[in-house]
Amino acid sequence: MVTVGCGSPVEVLGAAEFGRGEGQVWSEVLQCRGNKSQTHFCPKSSSLKHNCSHDNDVGLVCAGVLLVNGSRCSGRVEVLHGESWFTVCDADFNQQGAEVVCRELGCGSPVEVLGAAAFGRGEGPVWSEELQCRGNESQIHFCPKSSSLKHNCSHDNDVGLVCSDSVRLADGGSRCAGRAEVFHRGQWGTICGAGANFIAGFVMCKELGCGEPFRTDAAVPGSAPIWMSHVKCTGSE
């Protein structure tokens, strides 16, 4: 949804979730590929197979925050302001802010807040205010802010965040080593090595922002359920 400058989509809601409109209902199917700057540039089809009324008006929730250089639910925290994306200083971001970001992105709850550019240094401007979230805000832009900063931040201090709807390496002594686990159905579970290819390790390391696999070992056995098996990645995921 590039046109309105509102970041990335979080949720598409049907059944007039935000109320019934009063004008005409669009009579064609939008067949966007996601790379267009405006919806009017998307291909359209007039071969509708259903009749729509304002009871079917669609709603959209966009995010003014992104997690960059990790996965959809982990990475460097960047906040949209105007038409620019700002990184956030690790000293200006706390657990309450993490709660808001994970919720806004539909990524569950925060697992870990990481400072010192754990997911790489950003390239844009650095956010110049302290985020004073209470933790119950629906979006990061609703959080109170303070301009009375007591420190100078650079991209060496960019904050990173890992939310629960993600992957992790457990019991390995660091964030980038350990037993491969995924969060599913509200619980962390393991990935069975049976049938998995080595390329899956490359994808997981990339998702975690941990470089490339150094080696694959038999990990410390876990007691959690096995959520995945026979994971065969192509390397482009």
Furthest-apart CA atoms within the chain: distance in Å: 61
pLDDT tens digit string along 157-205? 999 998 876 778 888 877 788 888 887 665 678 888 777 777 888 888 8
Q: What does the pLDDT read at residue 101?
A: 93
Q: What does the pLDDT read at residue 156?
A: 94
pLDDT tens digit string along 205-218? 877 767 777 776 65
Tokens of 218: 């038999």
| Mean pLDDT across 15-30 | 75
Task: Tell me what percent of the residues of the chain surpass a pLDDT of 70.
Answer: 77
Q: What does the pLDDT read at residue 120?
A: 92
pLDDT confidence tier of residue 3, bands split at 50, 70 and 90 = very low
Same domain? For 154 and 68 the reply is yes
Domain with residue 55: its CATH number is 3.10.250.10
Same domain? For 121 and 42 the reply is no
Q: 86 pLDDT exceeds 70?
A: yes
| Mean pLDDT across 99-104 | 90
Q: What is the pTM of this model?
A: 0.55
CB-count burial class (<10 Å; 0-12, 13-18, 19+) for 19: exposed
Determine the length of the chain: 237
Q: What does the pLDDT read at residue 99?
A: 93
pLDDT confidence tier of residue 112, bands split at 50, 70 and 90 = confident
Number of domains into which the chain is organized: 3
pLDDT confidence tier of residue 85, bands split at 50, 70 and 90 = confident
Q: 1 pLDDT exceeds 60?
A: no
Domain range for residue 27?
Answer: 8-62
18 close to 10: Cβ distance less than 8 angstroms: no
pLDDT tens digit string along 48-69? 556 778 887 887 766 688 898 8
Positive or negative, the CA dihedral 78, 10, 190, 98 is positive
Q: What does the pLDDT read at residue 128?
A: 81
Task: Compute the distance between CA of residue 153 and CA of residue 221 in angstroms, rounded to an integer.
Answer: 41
Residue 2 lies in a domain: no
Residue 236 lies in a domain: no
In 10 A of CB 56, how many CB atoms? Answer: 13
Q: What is the mean pLDDT of the chain?
A: 78
Nearest to 64 by CA among 136, 1, 158: 1
Same domain? For 55 and 111 the reply is no
Q: 229 pLDDT exceeds 60?
A: yes
Q: What does the pLDDT read at residue 9?
A: 63
Q: 18 pLDDT exceeds 90?
A: no
Residue 3 lies in a domain: no
73 close to 107: Cβ distance less than 8 angstroms: yes
φ, ψ of residue 199 to 5 degrees: the values are -65, -30
Of 148, 163, 178, the last residue of a domain is 163
